[in-house]
Amino acid sequence: MHRTTIAVLLLLFCLQLVATDAQSIQDSYLAEARGDYNNAILVMQNLAEKDPTEVFYMMRVAWLSYLMGNYQSALEQYQRSLRSLDHADARLGVINCQLALGLWDEVLSGTQAMLEQNPQNTLALSKAAYAAYMKKSYSLAADYFARIISISPWDMENRGYLVNNLYLSGNISEAGKQYRILKKYFPQSQIVIDYKDILDTQ
């Protein structure tokens, strides 16, 4: 092999090493933006190997795993992050993964912990309500939706969910009351359409 050829190959090899070392978090963001989650997470994993205690890297690997549908892996990464630093983003990440995995009791436990710190956290309330609904604990779900409405009375989407869960729990009188409010302010609601023949007379 000619010396020139060897020199060129060595140069290309060195350039490849430089390019690899130059990978930054920006490369991960760009890959995510174009929907290339595999490369986005690969960049983050390489960065995390060099700085394994960096909580933000853990969080980003967890987020990208979630986007890829690897909910169990994402859950483990969020829990790892939470062990390193107890913060709301990691708690919410854990809850989102548990929702995706159908772990309703764990969701209710996690949201309760968040609500003890901030009883008016409507995001935690809505996730708790959804978990209760999926467990067919309609009365509990209605309680959560009612708390959301007490905080945001013009949230007609959640008022609709309240109507639905009140009815399913057997509380027809209160369902009718909430239905009339929903119909007054948001008559095009699908809940109004679905319950028209049932609750219009209540």
Does 94 lie in the same domain as 138? no
- 139: domain CATH number? 1.25.40.10
54 burial (CB, 10 Å; 0-12 / 13-18 / 19+) is: middle
pLDDT string in tens for the chain (202-residue length): 454 554 434 444 434 433 444 578 999 999 999 999 999 999 999 999 999 999 999 999 999 999 999 999 999 999 999 999 999 999 999 999 999 999 999 999 999 999 999 999 999 999 999 999 999 999 999 999 999 999 999 999 999 999 999 999 999 999 999 999 999 999 999 999 999 999 988 7
CA nearest to 176, candidates 185, 160, 191, 163 = 163
Name the domain count of the chain: 2
Is residue 123 assigned to a domain? no
Is residue 121 assigned to a domain? no
Q: How far apart are CA 60 and CA 74, in angstroms?
A: 10
Does 27 lie in the same domain as 94? yes
Determine contact, residues 182/192, Cβ cutoff 8 Å: yes
Task: Check residue 188 and report its DSSP letter.
Answer: T
Does 90 lie in the same domain as 7? yes
Q: What is the pLDDT of residue 4?
A: 52
Is residue 171 left, alpha or beta, with left meaning phi > 0 and alpha meaning psi from -120 to 50? beta
Is residue 122 assigned to a domain? no
Provide the domain limits for residue 12.
1-101
3-state secondary structure of 47: helix
Q: What is the pLDDT of residue 14?
A: 38
Is residue 179 assigned to a domain? yes
Does 87 lie in the same domain as 166? no
3-state secondary structure of 62: helix
